[in-house]
A = this chain, B = another copy of it.
Amino acid sequence: MPDSAIRPRKEFGKTIAADITHRLREEIIACGLAPGEPLRFDVLRERFGASFTTLREALTALAAEGLVDAQEQRGFRVAPVSRQDLVEVTDARVLIEVELIRRSIERGDDDWEIAVISTLHRLKRIEQRDPEHPLRDPEWKIAHRQFHQALVSACGSATLLAIRAELFDRAERYRHLSANFRPRPRDKAGEHQAIMQAAISRNADLAVQLIEAHIRSTSDNVATYAGHLLDTE
């Protein structure tokens, strides 16, 4: 049956609202919608082809994730960025990710090792193919996300994984913010490789040290190259 031709757009979820939530999230993270930008319903309605109500539901969900700022009776806007927020997100990520890496290394089984190795492999393949601007490449972004996700996936706590995922998204937005101004990506491939090896060899202390450095240096990079964008508000 050609029912895919009938349904308009439901790529990521069964409901339109879930779909719009996903698309809006991606656009905000990629800074296709600038931080602080007002999200007017007329504009969104045209861009996403959904009704007021459906958009409202999506914006409410994203507000709970910290990517959208709900101003009661005065609409929504993309969550603003600031040095303070960048510091907080970085800091929270270190606290949680370090703990989850430890637990994953402690509890990870064969499937976990395979997931870590294979997601890194894919990431490297994509980087070889086009080493220039990885954040511009949607495939790289997905592979990168999946590698870091795999590292902590054996921690055993869906609750903490959900919190980690939110913080990861918020941090990714800052990376995009600085991507346009950063002269050249640093040697992430090497860092990822080292983290993988530390994890697989069950060297928790080393893995933790590398992850923390990885997160903090990314954050420092943003502060250096996008600092001028963080002072407006």
Q: Which residues of A line the B interface, CB within 8 A?
A: 13-15, 17-18, 53, 56-57, 60-61, 63-66, 72-73, 85, 88-89, 91-92, 95-96, 99, 157-160, 162-163, 167
A57-B57, A57-B60 given; A92·B163 CB < 8 A: yes
Asked if B64 and A65 make an inter-chain contact with CB atoms under 8 angstroms apart, the answer reads yes
Asked if A92 and B157 make an inter-chain contact with CB atoms under 8 angstroms apart, the answer reads yes
Please name all residues of chain B whose beta carbon is closer than 8 Å to the beta carbon of A57 when the two chains form the complex.
56-57, 60
Shortest CB distance A68–B (Å): 11
Please name all residues of chain B whose beta carbon is closer than 8 Å to the beta carbon of A15 when the two chains form the complex.
72-73
Asked if A159 and B73 make an inter-chain contact with CB atoms under 8 angstroms apart, the answer reads no
Please name all residues of chain B whose beta carbon is closer than 8 Å to the beta carbon of A96 when the two chains form the complex.
95
In the complex, which of the residues B18, B72, B99, B162 contacts A95, with contact meaning CB atoms closer than 8 Å? B99
Q: Which residue of B lies closest to A91 (CB)?
A: B157
A57 to B64 Cα, complex, angstroms: 11
Listed from nearest, the 4 A-B pairs whose CB atoms lie closest are A64-B64, A14-B72, A88-B159, A53-B53
Asked if B13 and A89 make an inter-chain contact with CB atoms under 8 angstroms apart, the answer reads no
Please name all residues of chain B whose beta carbon is closer than 8 Å to the beta carbon of A66 when the two chains form the complex.
159, 162
Please name all residues of chain B whose beta carbon is closer than 8 Å to the beta carbon of A157 when the two chains form the complex.
88, 91-92
Please name all residues of chain B whose beta carbon is closer than 8 Å to the beta carbon of A158 when the two chains form the complex.
88
A88 to B159 Cα, complex, angstroms: 6
Q: Which residue of B lies closest to A74 (CB)?
A: B14
Shortest CB distance A82–B (Å): 11
Shortest CB distance A213–B (Å): 20
Please name all residues of chain B whose beta carbon is closer than 8 Å to the beta carbon of A162 when the two chains form the complex.
66
Could you jot down 17 A-B contacts, CB within 8 Å? A13-B72, A14-B72, A14-B73, A56-B57, A57-B57, A61-B64, A64-B64, A66-B159, A88-B157, A88-B160, A91-B157, A91-B159, A91-B160, A92-B157, A92-B160, A92-B163, A95-B160
